[in-house]
Copies of this chain bind each other. A is one copy, B any other.
Protein backbone atom coordinates (compact mmCIF):
# COMPACT_ATOMS: atom_id res chain seq x y z
CA UNK A 1 0.00 0.00 0.00
CA UNK A 2 1.31 3.39 -0.95
CA UNK A 3 0.13 6.57 0.78
CA UNK A 4 -2.98 8.33 -0.51
CA UNK A 5 -2.46 11.03 -3.11
CA UNK A 6 -4.00 14.49 -2.64
CA UNK A 7 -5.41 16.10 -5.79
CA UNK A 8 -6.46 19.76 -5.62
CA UNK A 9 -8.18 21.61 -8.45
CA UNK A 10 -8.23 25.40 -7.91
CA UNK A 11 -10.83 26.62 -10.40
CA UNK A 12 -11.03 30.35 -11.13
CA UNK A 13 -14.37 31.55 -12.43
CA UNK A 14 -16.28 34.68 -13.27
CA UNK A 15 -18.54 35.28 -10.23
CA UNK A 16 -21.63 35.19 -12.44
CA UNK A 17 -20.83 31.58 -13.39
CA UNK A 18 -19.70 30.09 -10.06
CA UNK A 19 -23.01 28.27 -9.55
CA UNK A 20 -22.82 26.71 -13.04
CA UNK A 21 -19.35 25.36 -12.27
CA UNK A 22 -20.55 23.99 -8.94
CA UNK A 23 -23.45 22.23 -10.67
CA UNK A 24 -21.12 20.57 -13.22
CA UNK A 25 -18.67 19.47 -10.52
CA UNK A 26 -21.35 18.06 -8.21
CA UNK A 27 -22.89 16.08 -11.09
CA UNK A 28 -19.44 14.86 -12.17
CA UNK A 29 -18.62 13.76 -8.63
CA UNK A 30 -21.88 11.91 -8.13
CA UNK A 31 -22.16 10.26 -11.56
CA UNK A 32 -18.53 9.66 -12.55
CA UNK A 33 -15.64 10.42 -10.18
CA UNK A 34 -16.98 8.81 -7.00
CA UNK A 35 -17.51 5.53 -8.90
CA UNK A 36 -13.92 5.33 -10.15
CA UNK A 37 -11.42 2.73 -8.85
CA UNK A 38 -9.04 4.26 -6.32
CA UNK A 39 -11.25 7.22 -5.40
CA UNK A 40 -11.38 7.69 -1.61
CA UNK A 41 -13.13 11.00 -0.91
CA UNK A 42 -13.49 14.62 -2.01
CA UNK A 43 -14.63 17.97 -0.65
CA UNK A 44 -15.95 20.76 -2.89
CA UNK A 45 -15.64 24.33 -1.59
CA UNK A 46 -16.90 27.60 -3.05
CA UNK A 47 -15.30 30.96 -2.22
CA UNK A 48 -17.70 33.44 -0.64
CA UNK A 49 -16.44 36.11 -3.10
CA UNK A 50 -17.63 33.75 -5.90
CA UNK A 51 -14.30 33.85 -7.83
CA UNK A 52 -13.14 30.30 -7.07
CA UNK A 53 -14.26 26.73 -6.59
CA UNK A 54 -11.80 24.30 -5.00
CA UNK A 55 -11.96 20.51 -5.21
CA UNK A 56 -9.78 18.59 -2.72
CA UNK A 57 -9.73 14.83 -3.32
CA UNK A 58 -7.93 11.83 -1.93
CA UNK A 59 -6.99 8.93 -4.20
CA UNK A 60 -5.44 5.60 -3.30
CA UNK A 61 -2.70 6.20 -5.89
CA UNK A 62 -1.61 8.54 -8.67
CA UNK A 63 -2.43 5.74 -11.14
CA UNK A 64 -6.14 5.74 -10.22
CA UNK A 65 -6.28 9.52 -10.55
CA UNK A 66 -4.50 9.54 -13.91
CA UNK A 67 -6.67 6.71 -15.29
CA UNK A 68 -9.71 8.78 -14.29
CA UNK A 69 -8.32 11.85 -16.07
CA UNK A 70 -8.13 9.70 -19.23
CA UNK A 71 -11.60 8.19 -18.75
CA UNK A 72 -14.07 9.48 -21.37
CA UNK A 73 -16.97 10.17 -18.96
CA UNK A 74 -14.79 11.93 -16.37
CA UNK A 75 -13.00 13.90 -19.07
CA UNK A 76 -16.33 15.12 -20.45
CA UNK A 77 -17.14 16.72 -17.07
CA UNK A 78 -13.65 18.26 -16.94
CA UNK A 79 -14.24 19.74 -20.41
CA UNK A 80 -17.63 21.14 -19.39
CA UNK A 81 -16.02 22.85 -16.38
CA UNK A 82 -13.08 24.14 -18.46
CA UNK A 83 -15.52 25.66 -20.98
CA UNK A 84 -16.92 28.02 -18.33
CA UNK A 85 -13.95 28.42 -15.92
CA UNK A 86 -10.15 28.13 -15.58
CA UNK A 87 -9.11 24.89 -13.84
CA UNK A 88 -5.78 24.64 -12.01
CA UNK A 89 -5.34 20.93 -11.23
CA UNK A 90 -2.36 19.46 -9.41
CA UNK A 91 -1.05 16.73 -7.13
CA UNK A 92 0.01 17.94 -3.68
CA UNK A 93 2.11 16.77 -0.75
CA UNK A 94 1.03 17.54 2.81
CA UNK A 95 3.82 19.70 4.29
CA UNK A 96 2.40 20.18 7.74
CA UNK A 97 -0.65 19.95 9.95
CA UNK A 98 -1.21 22.41 12.78
CA UNK A 99 -3.77 22.58 15.54
CA UNK A 100 -4.61 24.96 18.35
Contact = CB atoms under 8 A, between A and B. Distances in A.
Q: Quickly give the copy total for this chain.
A: 2
Of the four ranges (under 10, 10 to 19, 20 to 34, 35 or more), the interface on chain A belongs to 35 or more
Most buried by B among A30, A45, A49: A45
Contacts of A30: 98
20 contacts: A6-B45, A8-B47, A8-B54, A22-B95, A26-B96, A34-B99, A41-B98, A41-B100, A43-B94, A43-B98, A44-B94, A44-B96, A47-B91, A47-B92, A49-B90, A51-B90, A52-B88, A52-B92, A53-B95, A56-B56
- 8 closest cross-chain pairs (CB), A and B: A45-B92, A47-B90, A41-B99, A44-B95, A44-B96, A29-B98, A48-B91, A42-B98
